[in-house]
Chain A
Amino acid sequence: GNSVTQMEGPVTLSEEAFLTINCTYTATGYPSLFWYVQYPGEGLQLLLKATKADDKGSNKGFEATYRKETTSFHLEKGSVQVSDSAVYFCALSPSSGSARQLTFGSGTQLTVLP
């Protein structure tokens, strides 16, 4: 079956530090890949997505590249801010199936200190 493995947290960084959150996946075919962000007490927000190999998703300074050869989709940001403190989820959607259910990683808690 499909699975997503995320870097375990929590991750604590100082403001303006470089961020990497690792994500690897197992799936057949060519799944779509996503990063979601969840701020305290809120639902999940789609942060970025990629649908084929070598695609780079980007949004709000965050980037992730779909690497088919390493089955990875690592999240990066060059300079984090206090407002980036949240839980980040990596997810995949299979390339077939009527419901196209998402498979989520376990989430990584990020805290950015001023």
Chain B
Amino acid sequence: QKEVEQDPGPLSVPEGAIVSLNCTYSNSAFQYFMWYRQYSRKGPELLMYTYSSGNKEDGRFTAQVDKSSKYISLFIRDSQPSDSATYLCAMCFSGSARQLTFGSGTQLTVLP
């Protein structure tokens, strides 16, 4: 079993839809949770960063962490064609090392 599981998709939604992207993990010691966005033929870039459980909102994006269920989500409201990308969840332990463990990524297409 992988430490971090992520549905690879692909996921296609119409413009304006609410998108839900999810990851589950097995190691309860993970403390920091991130979502990276990767456009085609580009490197990933950090989209959202959260520490421990709870919600964090940034514009149309909301990151949610449920440590009791070992489940994290990224919600995109009013999705736009420019949101079409691969979304990677990532997580790490606390401490100075902080090596990230990545999910395999979900490919999202928002249709105009």
Q: Do A and B come from one complex?
A: no
Q: Taking beta carbons and an 8 Å cutoff, which residues of B are in contact with A? A: none
